[in-house]
Structures are given as C-alpha cells and as structure tokens.
Amino acid sequence: MKAYTKFVAIGAIALGLGIGMAACSSGPKEIVIGGVGPVTGEAATFGVSTKNAYEMAIAEWNANKGINGKQLKLVFADDKGDPTEGATVYTKLIQQDKVVAIVGTVMSKVSLAGAPICQSSGIPMISPTSTNPKVTEVGDFIFRACFIDPFQGTVGAQFAFNDLGAKKAAALFDSGNDYAKGLSEFFKAKFEELGGAGSVVAFEGHASGTTDFKAQLTKILAAKPDVLYVSDYYQDVALIAKQARELGFKGPMVGGDGWDSPDLVKIGGAAVENGFFTNHYSAEDTRPIVQDFVKKYTAKYGAAPDALATLGYDAMTLMLDAIKRAGKTDGKSIRDALKAADLAVVSGQVKFDASRNPVKSAVIIEIKDGKQVYKTTVNP
C-alpha cells in the first residue's frame, strides 16, 4: 500500500512537470509573424510569388535555429488585392493571431489600408513592394523594402525621352489605383521637364475593373504620341496593349513594376512586344547573392523568382534580422532595430532614410520574343 501511494505520488509529480513544461514550450518559445499578399483577385501572381518567398525565408531561419532559440511561425493572409479585405486581415493578424510584426502587403492601395492599423496598434510593418510614397508617410512603424514611385516615374520618363527618343508621350492609368495614378503623374512631371510643357499630349484615367479601353485609346492616339506610358498592373496592361495595337498604335509602350508577371505575355502576346518597364531586380543579375537566390528559389518552386518573390524574401529577411537584433519582440524595440538596418539583401543594400524608404537602383526590362530581357540598371 505504501509503495503504491509512493508510485502514484511520483507519477503525479512527473505528470505535473510534464504539463508545466508543455505549457512553457507552447507560448513564448515561438515568434509569430504575419504575412500578407494577394493570392487571389486582379493580380494573383503577385501574391503567389510573395507567399512562396515569405515561406522560404521562414523555413531557412527555422532550419538555422530560429531567432534567439525560438522558432518562427508564419501566419499568412490573402488580402485579395482589395483594400477592405486588407483592413480585415491586418486586424485579424494583430488581434487574433497576436503577430509581433507584419510583412506585407504588395499593392500600394491595400498597404494604405493596412498601414494605419499597424501604426495605431504599434505593430511594425514592412511592405515588400508598395511603391506609392504615401504608404510609409502613414507613420514611424511603417517601412518598405523597395524604391518609391517618384524615382520609378523619373526613370521611365528619362528612358522614354533619352533612350527611345520620344518627343511626345501619352499616359493611361487606373484612376482608382493609388499606385497607377501616382506613377503616371510622376512620369508626366519628369517627361514635361525634359520635353517641355505640352509634351505629354494625352493623360487619361480609366475606371477600375473595366476591360474596354477603346474610348481612352482613341482619344490618346488622335494626339499622336511617340510613346504610350501605362502604369497599371499586368492584366490591364495586356488588354490595353492589345486594344492599342488593334487601333493601329505601333510605337513603344513603357510602364512600371506592375508589369512584372508571367501572365503579361500569356494574355498580351505579340501586343506587348516593344514594351519596356522599370523593375526592382533582374534574374540575369550576375552578383552571387542574386544567383544563389535564383538557384534555390527555382529548385523549390520550379520557376525563376520575379521581383515580387525577391522583394518578399528581402522584406522578410529585413524584419527577421531586426527582431534578432532587437532581442525582444515588442513593437517599439523591433521598429527601432528596423530603423537601424544596414543589410545586404538580394535586391541590394538596404538602409532606410528618415522616411523609412530604402534608396535603391532600378532596372529596365524589355519584352522581347515573349521573354523579359534585362537592358540596363539606373542608379538613384
């Protein structure tokens, strides 16, 4: 009887210890990071690449013992390319999943919905790809891993004027998209500085979600531009290119990073030839850090990384590096560590300016025989 009681007592202590240890290991042993991107909706290829890259970075850090002995857990949410949905998922990640930081999202118009939520909750956010200047202006918890559109629009205008020799330009953009509208405005300002007042002969917005651009294009072509600037995302760009060619436009088209999708050529076909766009990186870049990334991403996902994948990986790396240097997971400590970043990531060296934007170069890509061909790099 005595021996039995002793056995039960030991058993109970052992069980108690076991439960106690389990309780300790589940909570604080894990760091929860939010990831956001559009894996469905108007620009779904953007989200697929971004999600792949987030997952790859997290897996690598976990295989390398996580951060300060803690494993990392990624909670990914699809914003569907929609600002209302974006606000919902940012709130869910913060309130329900208790993330310590958010990496995302892709489209400026959706980041503009998520950023105020991060700012007021004191949760640091880094957008991999949102280039509209207003995104980081929301507040000091908001960062990005890419250049901004005043630079991108300037590079596009210089390329059109100097390299393509265009004297007259026209622009067509989604007027319900902060990124597209802003980028066309920056392009126009620089082109007119180079070509003189009136050198942008047509400047036309279209409604979001439309698939018929003939009314705007007819007006644009009547003004006889040498080049057509299209600052939309790839689906619209492909349809605009097709309709512009149908209406007889033979000149070059220029655009921004929103062109970067395998679907541009799939939808646009021959119409997007003689097309050029500014982007964040090229898979043809021979620097070892780029080629290593291209190799391991291609091995894992079966296609070379586009700019979305590269910037998604870089943004996640910047955030994890900041959490590691902070040594703590409260929002302010992570934010302060992020502000002090000076890190070589795949798309370049990242150091933030006072507005939490990195200063980075752009590349120009040409669509040639259905492929993206690297043309040149432009430094800020």
CA 195 from centroid of its chain's CA atoms: 31
State in angstroms the smallest separation of the CB of 189 from ligand PHE: 18
Q: Given the rule CB under 6 A, which of 203-211, 240-248, 255-263, 282-290 is the region that contacts ligand PHE?
A: 255-263
Which pair of tokens denotes residue 120?
Answer: 């007021």
Give 67 or 365: the residue with its C-beta nearer to ligand PHE.
Answer: 365
Q: Given the rule CB under 6 A, which of 61-69, 253-261, 286-294, 345-353 is the region that contacts ligand PHE?
A: 253-261
List 358's β-bridge partners, or say none: 352
Q: With contact defined as beta carbons under 8 Å apart, do 290 and 346 qualify?
A: yes
Q: Which of 257, 285, 314, 321 binds ligand PHE (CB under 6 A)?
A: 257
Task: Please give the Cα distance from 136 to 133 (Å, whole number).
Answer: 7
Q: With contact defined as beta carbons under 8 Å apart, do 171 and 188 qualify?
A: yes
Give 132 or 154: the residue with its C-beta nearer to ligand PHE.
Answer: 132
Give 308 or 334: the residue with its C-beta nearer to ligand PHE.
Answer: 308
Give 141 or 179: the residue with its C-beta nearer to ligand PHE.
Answer: 179
Give 106 or 290: the residue with its C-beta nearer to ligand PHE.
Answer: 106
Question: DSSP assignment, residue 215?
Answer: H
User: Any contact of residue 46 with ligand PHE (CB under 6 A)?
Assistant: yes
Give the burial string for 282-298 (b: 16+ CB within 10 Å, else e): bbebeeeebeebbeebe
State in angstroms the smallest separation of the CB of 165 from ligand PHE: 27
Task: Please give the Cα distance from 95 to 317 (Å, whole number).
Answer: 24
Q: Which of 148, 170, 307, 345 binds ligand PHE (CB under 6 A)?
A: 307
Which pair of tokens denotes residue 296?
Answer: 């391991």
Site size toward ligand PHE (CB under 6 A) is 14
Question: DSSP assignment, residue 70?
Answer: B
State in angstroms the smallest separation of the CB of 243 from ligand PHE: 22
Residues 104-133 that bind ligand PHE (CB under 6 A): 106-108, 129-132
Q: Given the rule CB under 6 A, which of 2-10, 69-77, 256-264, 346-354 is the region that contacts ligand PHE?
A: 256-264
Residues 159-198 that bind ligand PHE (CB under 6 A): 179
Neighbour order of strands in the sheet with 200-206: 200-206, 169-174, 227-230, 253-255, 275-279, 362-368, 371-378
User: Any contact of residue 79 with ligand PHE (CB under 6 A)?
Assistant: no
The per-residue DSSP string of 125-187 comes to EEESS---THHHHT-TTEEESS--HHHHHHHHHHIIIIIS--SSEEEEEETT-HHHHHHHHHH
User: Any contact of residue 86 with ligand PHE (CB under 6 A)?
Assistant: no
Give 47 or 195: the residue with its C-beta nearer to ligand PHE.
Answer: 47
**Contact footprint for ligand PHE (CB under 6 A):** 46, 106-108, 129-132, 179, 257-258, 260, 307-308
